[in-house]
Amino acid sequence: MKTLATLALLLATSTVAMADDAKVLLKYKFDEGDLIRSKIVHLSTVETKIKGSTQTAQSRSISTKQWKVEGVDKEGLATFVHSVESIDMWQKVTDRPEQRYNSQTDQEPPAIYAVAAQSVGIPLARITVDPQGRLVQRKQLGGTPSGETQILPILPEEPIAVGSAWYSPDDLTVRAGNGKQKHIKTRQVFRLESVTGNVATISTETQILTPIDDPMLKVELIQKLTRGKVKFDIAAGRLISQQLDLDETIIGFQGETSVMNYLGRMTEELLPGPPAKVAAMPAAPTPAAEPAKVAEPQEPAKIASKPTAPRRLDGVPTLADPATKPVEKEEEATEGPDLD
């Protein structure tokens, strides 16, 4: 009996090893008429210290994103219309009153959210992507044009094994402290961490390739320095969820003693079922009107390179949600839950 049990254990171990060595093909799959909806949550806390004065800016936004697939060609290029069904926004800055707006319950938005409110429930852009998720074409239909070159996690072209990595290069243009623009080379690094059933877990991290010694440039780039995990349904060819964390400190952006701490998290989760109300498409082309400008985030105080290791973001990462606070004692006693 003991021999049979040992043999069964060896066979089970062999099966796991074979599964780890197997290669999988990851690609997005869309069909005409698909309606893809997801919930997106952004949390951030930015603390700046300048000449002995400290200011904390906290924000939280919850939105429902919708992609309506118009068609897919023979090469697998999918074209869809992007819109936002609803937004729920909150902001608090030291010594200033809170600002809130929920597009589903509030009749009039505060001035700070007025332009963002105008972008709810209308087609914002017509976008074409390839089966790897690379942006092929974007046509602005409303709202403020986006400069983002990556709207989906990029997938590899060839089948890959667990542990394999791939890269997505990008060039960013930022403004230095002297006012001049500078081109920065970056790349997004992806790695297939595991495959369980039809679910692939992928890690992602942004790497800055261009040497940077100007704290002002680091401030401009800070929101790009994310790392996190992606859950992908291999059979359905859909993003299930993703979580991107940001934890950076910049020193000397406004004087030698100035410090900025930026802590943030973005989560996206696929939603089932149709929306309560679908953003309507324009019936016919109309003369181009000046697009509404989406409220730009307040430029954070500039930051300096962080010498210490990144903090863990177990549980709620920021104080952006007034109803929650990080539980420091629990973090000290245990590693905390896996937030993949």
Distance CA 320, CA 58 (A): 5
- pLDDT class of 1 with cuts at 50, 70, 90: very low
Q: What is the mean pLDDT of residues 72-95?
A: 97
Q: How many CA atoms lie within 13 A of 178 on its CB side?
A: 4
Task: Kindly report the length of the chain.
Answer: 340
Amino acid 180: pLDDT? 78
| The pLDDT value given to residue 97 | 95
Total Cβ atoms within 10 A of residue 247: 21
Does residue 335 carry a pLDDT above 70? Answer: no
Q: What is the pLDDT of residues 188-209, one digit of tens each?
A: 999 999 999 999 999 999 999 9
Cβ atoms of 72 and 36 within 8 Å: the answer is no
Structure tokens at 225: 């320095």
Q: What is the pLDDT of residue 7?
A: 44
How much is the pLDDT for 181?
Answer: 81
**Per-residue pLDDT, 122:** 96
More confident residue, 159 or 327: 159
Q: In angstroms, rounded to a whole number, what is the distance separating the alpha carbons of residues 35 and 58?
A: 33
Q: How confident is the model at residue 322 (pLDDT cuts 50, 70, 90)?
A: very low
DSSP letters of 77-108? -EEEEEEEEEEEEEEEETTS--EEEETTT-SS
* Predicted pLDDT at 306: 40
> What's the mean pLDDT in 258-271?
96
CB 244 within 8 A of CB 224: no
Neighbours of 20 (CB within 10 A): 12
Per the listing, tokens 């007034």 go with 322
Q: What are the b/e assignments for 135-147, b being 16+ CB within 10 Å?
A: eeebeebbbbeee
**If we measure between CA atoms, which residue out of 206, 186, 200 comes closest to residue 155?**
200
Q: Answer whether residue 337 shows pLDDT above 60.
A: no
Q: Across residues 151-177, what is the average pLDDT?
A: 91
pLDDT at 2 over 90: no
Please give the angle made by the CA atoms of 26, 31 and 37, to the nearest 5 degrees: 85
Domains and CATH numbers, the chain: 22-317 (2.30.230)
Q: Are 110 and 100 in contact (CB under 8 A)?
A: yes
- CA–CA dist 285, 290 (Å, integer): 14
What pLDDT, on the 0 to 100 scale, is given for residue 177? Answer: 65
Q: Is the pLDDT of residue 325 over 70?
A: no
DSSP conformation letters of 123-170:
EEEEEEE-TT--EEEEEE-SSPPP--S-SS----SS-EETT-EEEEEE
- Per-residue pLDDT of 9-63, as tens digits, reads 444 443 343 355 689 999 999 999 999 999 999 999 999 999 889 999 999 999 9
C-alpha pair distances (Å), 245 with each of 47, 165, 207, 318: 16, 20, 14, 11
Reply yes or no on whether the pLDDT at 117 is more than 70.
Answer: yes
Q: Which amino acid, residue 2?
A: K
Nearest to residue 243, comparing CAs of 138, 337, 146, 160?
337
AA identity, residue 168: S
pLDDT at 321 over 60: no
Q: Report residue 262 as tokens.
A: 């930026």
Nearest to 235 by CA among 189, 196, 292: 196
Please determine, for residue 66, whether its predicted confidence score (pLDDT) is greater than 80: yes
Higher pLDDT, 255 or 112: 112
